[in-house]
């Protein structure tokens, strides 16, 4: 597709993002792109566009030879996969914003791109307005990428900001987020960490060439964080964020997880508040670089979709350099992790699994400890997500090369005191 060729677009979905894209394209005449048809589910709904634009028949777009770009921004995973895979097979380039579908079907979609030679772009699926995928693809070499950590979910960040700054409890903060449109009526996807997990599955591929199912990455959301945890964080001069993190280990593997984390006041991510997203990338020679922007909403997401559409004029494709041109990395559980754990009852905490317990505190109703756990313990068990237990990672949580025997002895001594 040369730079002067007109892009004729078939759009699936006319919700917040779809309508945002329609409006943005009307204001971007220089792009030489127009939407020919929009496929929607409910033909009776009033929309701010001519009725002739809409259809309920997806094949009208998928089989139209004039349509050379399919843009998919719907909420349902399996229909989205059908649309994207069929469009690629039919010789169309595709732009998608469906992170859940992309994360769950990544191996099949990689194969389809190779087989068809078509381009599938999805910058809007992670961090909306922040161009993080393109940067990981083009700018950061695999061997020099030490680590990446990010706030990738605006809803949870908004809730945590309100818990800290306005001293709201979790339920009140969630209700406010729903009233303002930052959280869904069913907020589980955001609050329990699923949305961040899907985004992280995609970013791990572009950062380290790792292709894995979302379920292979350890994660939890903010559903168990108590107001008291926020109080403890403030006493220690930390804030709490839901952080997605990946870090290169000395053994050559990659540590990756999505969990609440204490963040130091001078950390870049401490400045990311409300519905904003932030990404910190650490590389061998460039040190740390910080990307910041709106992670959700009509126009921020539409701007990322627009950027992908624009790139298609130049036949842009993800090359997946870390996957195809380097030796891909693998996920590793061979490290320790420093955690803060708060809970109501000691019986739910397997103290013998801790390599060390550095701090413990017991009030009548709520107790907490700070200690070091083998990461495999979190992979293999779920006590840290159950029985009202709240687990929050310490800053710089990944710990390698420790003398476990000395620490274990101290841990058992402390366990005896408790």
Average pLDDT (281-303) is 84
Angle at 205 between CA 3 and CA 147, to 5 degrees: 110
CATH 3.40.50.300 fits 7-125, yes or no: no
Q: How far apart, in Å, do the first and last CA atoms of the chain sit?
A: 68
336-417 has the same fold as 7-125: no
Q: 236 catalytic, yes or no?
A: no
Determine the pLDDT at residue 412: 55
Structure tokens at 414: 């402390």
Read off the DSSP letter of residue 147: E
Q: What is the CA radius of gyration of the chain?
A: 23
Summarised one tens digit per residue, pLDDT across range 198-253 is 999 999 999 999 999 999 999 999 999 998 999 999 999 999 999 999 999 998 89
What's residue 418's pLDDT?
47
Is residue 315 pLDDT above 70, yes or no? yes
User: What pLDDT is attached to residue 410?
Assistant: 57
Residue 1 has pLDDT above 50, yes or no: no
pLDDT band at residue 72 using 50, 70 and 90 as cut-offs = very high
Beta strands 356-362 and 367-374, pairing class: antiparallel
Position of tokens 């009030």? 363
Give the separation between CA 377 and CA 118, rounded to whole angstroms. 42
Instruction: Evaluate if residue 382 carries a pLDDT over 90.
Output: yes
For the record, the structure tokens of 351 come out as 């103290």
In the chain, what percentage of residues exceed pLDDT 70?
94
Return the domain boundaries, the chain: 7-125, 336-417
- Among the options 199, 248, 294, 322, which is catalytic? 199
Residue 220: what pLDDT?
A: 97
Mean pLDDT of the region 254-271:
97
pLDDT value at position 287?
A: 82
Q: Band the pLDDT of 417: cuts 50, 70, 90.
A: very low
- Is the predicted pLDDT of residue 390 greater than 70, yes or no? yes
> d(Cα 131, Cα 126) in Å, to the nearest integer?
9
Instruction: Decide which of 405 and 119 is more confident.
Output: 119
For the four alpha carbons of 67, 73, 77 and 79, in that order, the dihedral sign comes to negative
Q: Which residues contact 98 (CB under 8 A, 6 or more apart)?
A: 72, 73, 74, 75, 77, 80, 84, 122, 125
More confident residue, 316 or 6: 316
Which residues, at least 6 apart from 228, have a Cβ–Cβ distance to it below 8 Å? 342, 366
Q: In the predicted model, is pLDDT for residue 4 greater than 80?
A: no
Half-sphere exposure of 376 (CA within 13 A, CB side): 6
d(CA 80, CA 92): 15
Q: Is the dihedral of CA 284, 286, 287, 290 positive or negative?
A: negative
286-295, 323-332, 385-394 — most confident range: 385-394
Residue 290: pLDDT over 70: yes
Q: What was the pLDDT predicted at 311?
A: 92
pLDDT at residue number 29:
77
Decide: pTM greater than 0.85: yes
Handedness of CA 256, 262, 268, 271 (dihedral sign): positive
Q: What's the mean pLDDT in 261-276?
A: 95
Residue 322 has pLDDT above 50, yes or no: yes
List b or e across 40-56, with b for residues whose CB sees 16 or more CB atoms inside 10 angstroms.
Answer: beeeeeebeeeeeebee
Strands in 54-55's sheet, in edge-to-edge order, are 54-55, 33-39, 7-12, 69-72, 93-96, 120-121
pLDDT at 406 over 70: no
d(CA 269, CA 153): 13
Q: Does domain 336-417 have CATH number 3.40.50?
A: no
CB 154 within 8 A of CB 276: yes
Query: 403-407, long-range: CB within 8 Å, 24+ apart, which pairs?
Result: 404/355, 407/355, 407/356, 407/372
pLDDT bin (cut points 50, 70, 90) of residue 404 is low
Q: Report the pLDDT averaged over residues 165-184.
A: 87
pLDDT at residue 43 is higher than 80: yes
Backbone conformation region of residue 117, classed left if phi is above 0, alpha if psi is from -120 to 50, else beta: left
Q: Which of 401, 390, 211 is nearest to 318 (CA)?
A: 211
For all residues of the chain together, what is the average pLDDT?
A: 91
Model confidence band, residue 409 (pLDDT cutoffs 50, 70, 90): low
User: Which residue did the predictor score with more confidence, 415 or 161?
Assistant: 161
Q: Find the length of the chain.
A: 418
pLDDT at 75 over 90: no
Distances (CA, A) of 140 to 124, 143, 184: 19, 9, 34
């Amino acid at each position: 597709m040369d730079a002067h060729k007109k892009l004729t677009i078939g759009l699936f979905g006319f919700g917040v993002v779809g309508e945002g894209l329609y409006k943005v394209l009307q204001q971007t005449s220089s792009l030489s792109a127009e939407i020919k048809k929009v496929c929607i589910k409910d033909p009776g709904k009033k929309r701010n566009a001519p009725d002739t634009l809409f259809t309920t028949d997806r094949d009208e777009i998928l089989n139209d030879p004039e349509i050379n770009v399919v843009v998919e921004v719907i909420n349902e995973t399996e229909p989205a996969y059908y649309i994207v895979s069929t469009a690629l097979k039919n010789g169309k380039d595709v732009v998608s914003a469906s992170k859940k579908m992309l994360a769950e079907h990544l191996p099949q979609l990689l194969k389809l791109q190779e087989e068809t030679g078509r381009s599938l772009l999805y910058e809007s699926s992670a961090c909306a307005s922040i161009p993080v995928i393109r940067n990981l693809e083009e700018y950061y070499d695999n061997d020099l990428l030490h680590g990446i950590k990010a706030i990738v979910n605006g809803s949870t960040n908004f809730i945590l900001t309100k818990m800290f700054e306005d001293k709201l409890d979790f339920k009140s903060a969630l209700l406010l987020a729903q009233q303002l449109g930052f959280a869904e009526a069913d907020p589980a996807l955001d609050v329990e960490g699923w949305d961040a997990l899907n985004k992280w599955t995609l970013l791990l591929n572009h950062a380290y060439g790792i292709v894995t199912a979302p379920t292979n990455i350890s994660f939890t959301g903010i559903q168990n964080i108590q107001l008291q945890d926020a109080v403890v964080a403030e006493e220690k001069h930390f804030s709490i964020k839901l952080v997605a993190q990946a870090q290169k280990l000395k053994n050559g593997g990659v540590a990756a997880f999505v969990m609440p984390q204490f963040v130091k006041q001078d950390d870049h991510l401490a400045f990311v508040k409300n519905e904003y997203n932030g990404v910190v990338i650490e590389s061998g020679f460039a040190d740390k670089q910080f990307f910041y922007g709106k992670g959700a909403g009509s126009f921020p997401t539409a701007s990322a979709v627009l950027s992908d559409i624009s790139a298609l004029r130049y036949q842009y494709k993800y090359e997946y350099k870390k996957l195809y041109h380097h030796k891909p990395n693998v996920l590793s559980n061979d490290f320790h992790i420093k955690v803060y754990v708060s809970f109501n009852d000691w019986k739910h905490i397997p103290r013998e699994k801790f390599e060390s317990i550095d701090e413990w505190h017991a009030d009548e109703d709520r107790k907490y400890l700070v200690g070091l756990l083998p990461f495999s313990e979190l992979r293999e068990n779920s006590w840290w997500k159950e029985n009202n237990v709240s687990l929050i990672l310490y800053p710089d949580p990944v710990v390698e090369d420790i003398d476990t025997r000395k620490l274990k002895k101290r841990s058992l001594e402390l366990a005896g005191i408790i």
